[in-house]
Structure 1
Amino acid sequence: MKESIGPTCRCSKCNSLLKASPKATAKKPIRYRFNFMKHMDLRQSNYRTITSISYLTEKYGEKKAENIARFVRCIHKQINSGVNRISDLQASSILPWTRVRLFLLLVTLSQRGGSDYWMGKEGEMKEPARPSEPRERKPQDKSKPYGTLIEEIMRQNINDNYREADHDENYVFSSIWANFMEGLINHFLEKVIIPSSERKVCQQLYKPMMKIISLYNEYNELMEKSERNGFLPPNQEPPAIISSDEATSIEDGKLQTAQRLLWQARQDIPKTISKELTLLSEMYSTLSADEQDFELDEFVCSAEEYIELEYLPSLIEVLFANGGTLNFWKIMIVLEPFFYYIEEVADEESPCYDGDSAKPDPRVVTLEKICEVAAEQEWI
């Protein structure tokens, strides 16, 4: 029976990491049928120009241009993959109410953007109106008639306390624009920045992780060999004191000494590995947070102005130019969630918060993550 040394990794990657074949984990590239740059009519806009690497490099410099290009590729990938999951039949069967809602979102988005995003009604510079923080949702009063379409969109997706009588149109335009911006940037954060920062951190922690796994494997091999040879049963403790009277021979004394050392190792090594796992997990959390903040700040400094002043106005122009086509409706369905960007607060009564027993050991999660990234990046 193999003795456990504490939090054992559940995945097979960690135990077989040294023997794994890098080619076995290689991912096949995904090929998309729909391609935004190929299948959308871009002739009436400057979209192709402002997203070209030559234009971006000349205007923003090589470093900022690369950050912007990564963002554009990320949005294109999301649109392409989303459109390919929607059939022509689904797109042509969209209900009239849904078509009106989607088109109204685009129209409302077009009312605030570019340099106008930073201008008030009188032309003065101002900070954009950000949507209110999500509040606790209350049951709707069914006795009251529904408001206008824009009021219902604002209530259901951005601010459930919204009333047209309390806010002017500038609030509506700025809120939808700000939410859409947040949605796009948050998507880029999840799909590009977080994985990139994880790879960098995992690379830094790869050697410490391998030392832990090597120690773990060596220890278990020693235990298995000892138990298989009957050197010391797993649950048997050696004599507390070895005296010359008790030892019938020199060999017996050596055996008792070795048993005592092995028993002590069974107590000490798991504690050492446990401490190393804890340290590894803490380092991973700290480094990941720092790296994500750094990359996000760098991206925002590089791309925020471009997204506001150039990318979104041009994207809106392309969508209007292709309005009514099946691809247009598919793209609007793909983009719709970005209009409703609000970070959801986890329910404290959900099972994941119901005691520590329901949560995986964060040290094991960290070890699995580093193993997974190591396999994907073929560091082995």
Structure 2
Amino acid sequence: MSAEARVPHATRKPRKQVRYKFQFTRDLRFQDTNYKTVTSMEYLSTNYGQRTARIIHSFISCIHRKINHDVSKISDNVVLKLIRPMDKLKLFLLLVTLSQRGGPDYWLDKHGKPNSSDYEEEVEPKNIKKEPKLFCTLLENVMRENIKKNFDETLYDENYVYSSIWANFMEGLINHYLERVIIPKSERKVCQQLYKPMMKIISLYNEYNDLIEKSENSGFMLDSKSSSDNDNVEVKLANAQKLLWKARQDIPKTISKELTLLSEMYSTLSVEEQDYQLDQFVCCAEEYIELVYLPSLIDVLFANCGSVDFWKIMFVLEPFFYYIEDLPDESSSLDIEVIDPEDGLDKEPRKPDPRVATLEKICEVAAKENWI
């Protein structure tokens, strides 16, 4: 009998299950692709310079993190049993359609000529007599979900389809990088700039609390004086109490003014910094993404087509195809119910001051970055 078998069952330690973590650059096949080459720092530095290479590599790392994290959460059983064949066909069609654009051919039409029209503009409807349709093709269904609810294959040429799918996917990836990297980076920079003004407001608030305590104590002292005390002392105490009570009214006004200023500065600086960071990123990385990265990524996906990991990755990437969406109906903004502000004051709790939310945000970042 083994030593393990002799140990009572209740005293055995449960085996720790190690959760499988997918890694894009480790678990896929890269044969006959140049993906690892064109995403390496050596390649990027040589072709774009150190600064641009760091920005581009940050984008690639962000996309890898997204894929690695989400693929690791999807079990093989989901792919093998839960994803329907029609869903797989749809995902594959998106990839095939995506592959029709990108690289040097991105700005060329189907005849190999420069495409002068903006790929986001609608193609003029063709003068074709429409026949009643009994069913839609899979491509038309995908386009209706992806680009336009009223998409009709008789009104749009294939160049519109390919360019729209490509534009959506690229915008989706850039938007993901914006949310995960650019916005947090901008917030940290802005919060660092506003850290001292925030501390000034906190100092005023602490001063206000001290004055409240002092004014209460002085009032108590004044009330406790006996008639035998010196009149001069009473006058001094009364004057001190008046000054403290005046400060109690003035400081909250100052705090409110400083809070408003801080909130306005935060909003303005955040927008400016995000726009600046996004412009810097687009100037550095847009051409690389269009001409190098996406075509190479597509090659890798085709090289792994049909595998369990391939379907997981396509499932993760699918939302990026739907970045550009129909704008809401502008007329809906007119259908607003006018409510008397006096109604329901006792029913709903008072909403928090948005200026305080700005203060809390700066405090949160300051604590996270160990500035405090």
Distance 1:146 1:280 in 2: 58
Any stretches of 5+ residues in structure 1 without a counterpart? 1-30, 134-142, 239-246
Task: Select which of 340, 357, 364 maps to 1:365.
Answer: 357
Q: CA deviation at 1:87?
A: 1.0
Secondary structure of 1:166 counterpart = coil
Q: Residue type matched to 1:70 in 2?
A: S
Contact 2:211-2:248 at 8 Å conserved across structures: no
Q: CA deviation at 1:248?
A: 7.3
Distance 1:45 1:106 in 2: 16
Residue correspondence of structure 1 range 219-234 to structure 2 within 5 A: 219-224=208-213, 226-227=215-216, 229=217, 231=219
Task: Select which of 273, 276, 284 maps to 2:255.
Answer: 273
Residue correspondence of structure 1 range 1-380 to structure 2 within 5 A: 33-93=21-81, 94-127=83-116, 129-131=118-120, 145-224=134-213, 226-227=215-216, 229=217, 231=219, 249-342=231-324, 360-380=352-372
Q: CA deviation at 1:43?
A: 1.9
Residues 345, 214 of structure 1: alpha-carbon distance in 2 compared, 3 angstrom cutoff: farther
Secondary structure of 1:231 counterpart = helix
Superposed CA offset, 1:80-139 (max 9, x none)? 011011111112121111101111000100011111111112322225643469xxxxxx
| Equivalent residue, structure 2, for 1:22 | none
Q: CA deviation at 1:202?
A: 0.6
Residues 315, 359 of structure 1: alpha-carbon distance in 2 compared, 3 angstrom cutoff: farther
Q: Residue type matched to 1:273 in 2?
A: I
Q: Residue type matched to 2:360 in 1?
A: E
Residues 181, 358 of structure 1: alpha-carbon distance in 2 compared, 3 angstrom cutoff: farther
Secondary structure of 2:219 counterpart = coil
Distance 2:278 2:58 in 1: 13
Distance 1:205 1:232 in 2: 40
Residues 45, 349 of structure 1: alpha-carbon distance in 2 compared, 3 angstrom cutoff: farther
Q: Residue type matched to 1:124 in 2?
A: K
| Equivalent residue, structure 1, for 2:127 | none
Q: Residue type matched to 1:173 in 2?
A: Y
Residues 155, 358 of structure 1: alpha-carbon distance in 2 compared, 3 angstrom cutoff: farther
Superposed CA offset, 1:33-64 (max 9, x none)? 11100111112210000000010000001111
Distance 1:44 1:217 in 2: 66
Residues 355, 224 of structure 1: alpha-carbon distance in 2 compared, 3 angstrom cutoff: farther
Give the structure-2-normalised TM-score. Answer: 0.81
State the number of aligned residues. 327
Distance 1:303 1:262 in 2: 59
Q: CA deviation at 1:180?
A: 0.3
Any stretches of 5+ residues in structure 2 without a counterpart? 1-18, 123-131, 224-228, 342-348
Residues 166, 263 of structure 1: alpha-carbon distance in 2 compared, 3 angstrom cutoff: same
Contact 2:188-2:365 at 8 Å conserved across structures: yes
- Mean Cα displacement is larger for which, 89-98 or 165-174? 89-98
Distance 1:164 1:310 in 2: 30
Contact 2:198-2:359 at 8 Å conserved across structures: yes
Give the structure-1-normalised TM-score. Answer: 0.80
Percent identical? 62
Q: CA deviation at 1:222?
A: 3.2
Distance 1:52 1:251 in 2: 80
